[in-house]
Amino acid sequence: MKKLALSDEILLSIEKPARYIGNEVNMVRKDTDSVDIRFGMCFPDVYEIGMSHLGMQILYDMFNRREDIYCERIFFSMD
């Protein structure tokens, strides 16, 4: 059996694992070697709140429509 990188205690304490799996709907992936600017746009709350924020969606789409920019989303909450 393959040993997991995290202990069972940590894995069982995760309340909403969908936040951490990636590959969400409308996610943009680009070759990082082919862009001039790569940055992370950080939202000061949990994933569910940030993804429902219309401004975050507009900016993410606007930046990633450009061939020379790769924008990623980052969510951070002290909860």
pLDDT in 10s for each residue of the chain, 79 residues: 555 566 777 767 777 766 666 667 778 889 989 999 999 999 999 888 988 999 999 999 999 999 999 999 998 888 7
CB 42 within 8 A of CB 71: no
CB 76 within 8 A of CB 41: no
32 occurs within a structural domain = yes
57 occurs within a structural domain = yes
CB 69 within 8 A of CB 37: yes
31 occurs within a structural domain = yes
pTM: 0.70
Q: What is the count of structural domains for the chain?
A: 1
Question: Rounded CA gap, 58 and 30, in Å?
Answer: 18
14 occurs within a structural domain = no
Q: Which domain holds residue 47?
A: 22-75
Question: Rounded CA gap, 37 and 32, in Å?
Answer: 9
4 occurs within a structural domain = no
